[in-house]
Structure 1
Amino acid sequence: MPIDDSVKGTRLPSVTMTLEAGRLASFAGATGQPDPVYRDPLAARNAGLPGLPVPPTFLFAIELEQPDPFAWLTGLGVDLRWVLHGEQAFTYHAMAYSGNTLVASPQIADVYRKKGGALQFVVKRTAVTHVDGSPVADLDSVIVVREPEVTS
């Protein structure tokens, strides 16, 4: 089913997360972050940091904290069996550290089609801020939806 272009600009529910040191350290280890300031609170303190810094790409995980993180897609009529995560980009504005509380505010920025409608693309932009509204990062995510009934 084609995704209606009128969803462009739709704001999705915000998600708030307090950054827990153990979770940041686990993510840093899982992604092979070699710098100990990302895994060891003492190393972070010795480096003059207020806590463990958020590892690169971790901010993508904030929106996954929702009970159904893909409800926004199914709400568009998308069959999740035909979804592919196509692209992710991060623009960082400020550092965040363990103990900080962040707010992720997503919105659907664009919808477009290729291959005669056989592939649909949904661009989601998420502004991540501290609770005071100061910017931390902007995330752009492109979701590809295959339409099996459409042949190009």
Structure 2
Amino acid sequence: MPLDPSVIGTQLPPTTLTVDAGRLRFFAKAIGETDPVFTDPEAARAAGYPNLPVPPTFLFGIELEQPDPFEWLAGLGVDLRRVLHGEQSFTYHATAVAGDVLTAAPVIGNVYSKKGGALEFIEKTSTVTRADGELVAELKSVLVVRNPEVAK
């Protein structure tokens, strides 16, 4: 089923997360980050941070905190078995640290197709802000939906 371009601009439910130091240490370990700034509060303070800083790409996971983080795709009629991760990018404006309360506000930025409709693309952009409204980052992800109804 082709994606309806009228969904462009649709605001999806925001997600708020209090950044936990233990979770940051676990994430840093999971991505192979060895810089103690990301795991040791004293090293973080010595580097000028008030607490453990958020490691690169951590912000991508905020929206996964929803009870059903892919419900919005199902609402578009997308079969999750046909979804591929296309790309993601991050533009950072400020450093988030343990203890920050962050909110990710996603919007469907674009939908388009290629290969005669065999591949459909959904671009989602999200702004991440601190509780005081300060912009922390802008995220962009592109999902690819394979359409088996289109002849190859």
TM-score norm. by structure 1 comes to 0.98
Q: Distance in 1 between matches of 2:34 and 2:52?
A: 13
Query: Per-residue deviation at 1:45?
Result: 2.2
Question: Which deviations, in whole Å up to 9, do the C-alpha atoms of 1:24-60 show, x marking residues without a partner?
Answer: 0110111011210101112212323211000000000
Instruction: State the SS of the aligned residue for 1:49.
Output: coil
Gaps of 5+ in 1: none
2:144 alignment counterpart: 144
**Aligned residue type for 1:121:** F
2:89 alignment counterpart: 89
Q: Distance in 1 between matches of 2:136 and 2:47?
A: 21
TM alignment of 1:51-90, pairs within 5 A: 51-90=51-90
1:129 pairs with 2:135: no
Q: Distance in 2 between matches of 1:137 and 1:116?
A: 34
1:22 alignment counterpart: 22
Q: How many pairs does the alignment contain?
A: 152
Q: Distance in 1 between matches of 2:78 and 2:102?
A: 29
Q: Distance in 2 between matches of 1:47 and 1:147?
A: 49
Query: Per-residue deviation at 1:61?
Result: 0.3
2:32 alignment counterpart: 32
Q: Distance in 2 between matches of 1:109 and 1:45?
A: 38
Q: Distance in 1 between matches of 2:69 and 2:146?
A: 20
1:106 alignment counterpart: 106
State percent identity of aligned pairs.
65
Q: Distance in 2 between matches of 1:80 and 1:105?
A: 22
Instruction: State the SS of the aligned residue for 1:48.
Output: coil
